Amino acid sequence: MGLDIRWPIGLMFTLIGAMLVIYGFFTNARMELYARSLNLNVNLYWGLLLLVFGGWMLFMAWRGAKSNKQP
């Protein structure tokens, strides 16, 4: 059975992370949005973290698929 859960998890986290990074990048100048978070752009930072995690999951899934194909 070739089901590897890392593929959908990696795609989901990468997609959500990319959306957060884009939103955080375009709202960076509007600091009234981030007044409750001590003027930190949490959308940008969490988006970057989700992108890194999603990329790591995709890399590990690709590496696992590559190692399964070798005899």
Using alpha carbons, list the distances in angstroms from residue 71 to 1, 4, 28, 67: 17, 19, 50, 9
Predicted model pTM = 0.85
Mean pLDDT of 50-64: 95
pLDDT category of residue 70 using cuts at 50, 70 and 90: low
* Tens of pLDDT, residues 10-29: 999 999 999 999 999 999 98
Number of structural domains, the chain?
Answer: 1
pLDDT at position 71 is 63
Structure tokens at 42: 């949490």
55 in any annotated domain: yes
Which is more confidently placed, 1 or 67?
Answer: 67
20 in any annotated domain: yes
Q: Which domain holds residue 45?
A: 6-65
pLDDT at position 46 is 97
1 in any annotated domain: no
33 in any annotated domain: yes
49 in any annotated domain: yes
